[in-house]
Structure 1
């Protein structure tokens, strides 16, 4: 038998709050309307330095994503950063205007498309009365992936980022990024072992400064995904039956890759994209027979190559 307990005598909720520290509002004499309140952000004086970036980050917000691969239209959740420059004589920016603009674009049904994001950055600079503005959005992009033998489909995803920097009188600067999980099989293990070879999950992260007009005929997300997955030992699949697993395992065995190999091969694909001006590639293997991970990276700027004599 459970022991009996005394029934609590609960006072009314306002009294409970008072007992736990709540107090009545303090009468004040400061203005209560916006027109009468002091505007510290717009105070003008010599504040020593101009600032490169002032704004907000890690704003979680829904955004539409158009895709060359099914599902063609999807809603994803983006982590968004918004910022502008700040003149030396200005004390601060009005940060509420950043989220106000975000809401205006949400109501218009905005999408993660480069022209829309360029328009957003330009308008942000105008609304904030600053020379520069930038936004960065990062979100999971989903795409259908069919198993190689049975054809059963499921959804894979990659982490995608778009950064747009706007400066008055200049064309927007655009950097696109993607992180894709892949399979890698160790060439050394295959070479020295009598049978089998160890493999591991790899992560390919690429970032590229681009000419947006050159991607007009192709979804850049598809191009970046192809660059990452086609140069690994094998792509990952959401659904694999036994015939599929056999095919994927054998494909990996036929295409062994060091992290060094992947970094160079992905770099070659990015180099061949006319829209890409400069890029970085980082490949990281979560080693299956070591306690450490293996990593390789490369950065290349095609504009420097063009400038060479």
Structure 2
């Protein structure tokens, strides 16, 4: 039987030229994160350092991804897969890259009641292995509520003015004030809030042995104070209203809170933050960014 032709192994028919990245995008595969099997999409590739080669062996990259289905995602596993990429392209490639996109599905408790529900956190992992070494970057999105401090101050002023009007010329007793505060007539204005998104991208420190998804989410949500909820009772909704009232923030405030929090986490070598407040007053978004020890700065 004649051997099957292997066009990719032939020399480049044109003038030799190295390529920065060659591979496949959008590969569907299951991975294991936080003990759960998750559906992911992978981009896998290498450089083509040998400019005389016609192409790479994409099937070898595809087959190497099978290791991701067998055990928990860790930096060590990602390093092993990338090393397999390069070993299967010895003499052709010097750099390997892998990107994984998925949603981390985590069960989150309610604020007060015993209820809990599932929340999906969009997540991206980017790993690179080359002559300079190995590094992993992790990107995630966190949803939260943001109450405008300016709107809150303006609302308080209107409430004060209504109070002065309703009780003009008389000294109100405790019961009358308490009833007024609890009435729609008294609280004539409320501050506006909006659903907001924090997009965090971190570079893991060299000694990090795990993918610290929950270790990032929990302190960041605590720093914001108003993370989006899942299942709630009225007591939880009231607690959420209280959290919003105690945590008014412009996008600049949110970016600073997250930046300060991230600087305290020892498993990080650098980060960049982008917060987007989907304004309920305006038809445009309010955005702030912060970076620390990020490549290119």
Same fold (TM over 0.5): yes
Per-residue CA shift, 1:179-204, capped at 9, x if unaligned?
Answer: 11111111111111134211111110
Question: Aligned-pair distance for 1:299?
Answer: 2.0
Residue number among 33, 37, 41 corresponding to 2:8 in the alignment: 41
Deviations 1:244-298 (A, max 9, x none): 1001111111111111111111111112222322211000111112111111112
Match of 1:65 among 17, 25, 33: 33
Residues 223-242 of structure 1 aligned to structure 2 (within 5 Å)? 223-242=215-234
Q: Which of 113, 117, 131 matches 2:78?
A: 117
**Higher relative contact order (Cα pairs below 8 Å, separated by 6+ residues):** 2
Q: What is the 5 A alignment of 1:1-309?
A: 35-37=3-5, 39-45=6-12, 47-66=15-34, 73-86=35-48, 87-103=50-66, 105-106=68-69, 109-129=70-90, 130-168=93-131, 170-193=132-155, 194=158, 195-213=189-207, 215-216=208-209, 220-301=212-293
Q: Quick one: distance in 1 between partners of 2:250 and 2:264? A: 22
Q: Which sections of structure 2, spanning at least 5 residues, go unmatched?
A: 159-188
Runs of 4 or more above 4 Å deviation: 302-305
Could you report, residue by residue, the CA deviation over 1:207-231 in whole angstroms, capped at 9, with x for unpaired residues? 1112141x44x76112321343123
Give the CA deviation at 1:303: 8.6
Measure, in 2, the Cα distance between the counterparts of 1:252 and 1:171: 44
**Does the 8 Å CA contact 2:68/2:77 hold for their aligned counterparts?**
no
TM-score by length of 2: 0.81
CA distance in structure 1 between the partners assigned to 2:252 and 2:294 by the alignment: 20
- The count of aligned residue pairs is 261
SS at match of 2:52: coil
Gaps of 5+ in 1: 1-31, 67-72
RMSD: 2.1
